[in-house]
Amino acid sequence: MIDTESGKTALMLETRQLECVRDDRLLFTDLSIKLAAGEILQIEGANGSGKTSLLRILCGLRRAEEGDVYWQGEKVSQVREDFYASMVYIGHLPCIKGDLTTLENIQSLLDTRSQSAPIEEIDEALAKVGLAGFDDVPSKALSSGQRRRILLAFLFLTKAKLWIMDEPLTALDVQGVELVESMLMEHRETGGSAVFTTHHGMQLPCEMSSVTLGKGQGSKC
């Protein structure tokens, strides 16, 4: 059992005895994680150790073979609506439409969450991620790093309590990495939590829990 140091503050996300099997391969079993408010958790592990699968289980896109995910003490399947309103997932796919402008992309992502933000706030978020003045540019004209930055602006605008991020540093430059780090710090200070995976070094000037997957990896079951 892997247990992160649980905080003294409110418990946000919890998993109990999770087991994940993919193509007859046991990726992990008996995985229990506790994530408190203001806690940042990094999932570590080699390629194919089940990091993405774990994140998809955490956000409810994938079903675990065994075990359950709990949001603030309740099973996620029972508080789905509440959980989805407080959680934002950013996968390794960009979810950006090339035919829409930066602004339209952000708005449609927010619409999906039944959220909206005033134009000034979106402009502010775009400025923060270094995309000021790009709001009416079709996203297909942007570089892949810039598209990731659109997602960061979206992440910021959701004001979600829990961020689940799969390789958030993909395609980002050095300033981009620093930006993600500073966003995480800010998020943490306001009581938010985050779970993420990355293969790049991320230095956060704060305590960070970590879970390593891949022990007993590849065993057939």
Partner 1 sequence: MLKAFYHLLARDLRLAFRSRHELANPLIFFVLVVSLFPLAVTPSADLLMVMAPGVIWVSALLSVLLSLDRLFKQDYEDGSLDQLMLSPNPLVILVLAKVFAHWLLTGLPLVLIAPLLGMFMYVPDEAISTLIFSLLLGTPVLSLVGAIGVSLTVAVNRGGVLLSLIILPLYIPILIFGANAVDVASDGMSVRGQLLFLAAVLALAISLAPLATAVALRITASR
Residues that bind partner 1 (CB under 8 A): 56, 59-63, 80-81, 84-85, 87-89, 91-97, 99-100, 104, 108-109, 111-114
> Can you tell me the distance from the alpha carbon of 39 to that of 189, in angstroms, rounded to the nearest whole number?
10
Of 193 and 209, CB closest to partner 1: 193
**Residue in 103, 109, 77, 63 with CA at minimum distance from that of residue 90:** 109
Q: Which is nearer to partner 1, 88 or 179 (CB)?
A: 88
- For the CB of residue 107, give the shortest distance to partner 1 in the complex, in Å: 9
- Which DSSP letter does residue 101 get? B
* Smallest distance from partner 1 to CB 5, Å: 28
- In the complex with partner 1, the residue whose CB is nearer, 51 or 56, is 56
Nearer to partner 1, 31 or 209 (CB): 31
How many whole angstroms separate alpha carbon 201 and alpha carbon 169?
9
Shortest distance in whole angstroms from residue 147 CB to partner 1: 10
Nearest-approach distance from CB 44 to partner 1, in angstroms: 23
Within 8 A by CB and 6+ apart from 116, the residues are 107, 110
C-alpha 112: how far from chain center: 17
Residue 79 Cβ, how far from partner 1 at the closest point, in Å? 11
Tokens of 128: 């923060």
Return the amino acid letter for 210.
S
Classify 68 in phi/psi space as left (phi over 0), alpha (psi -120 to 50) or beta.
beta
For partner 1, give the closer residue by CB, 51 or 209. Answer: 51
Residue 38 CB-half CA count within 13 A: 9
β-strand 66-71 against 74-75: which pairing, if any? antiparallel
Instruction: Rank residues 80 and 200 by Cβ distance to partner 1 and give the closer one.
Output: 80
Q: How far is the CB of 99 from partner 1 (least distance, A)?
A: 4
Angle CA(36)–CA(125)–CA(176) in degrees, nearest 5?
Answer: 75
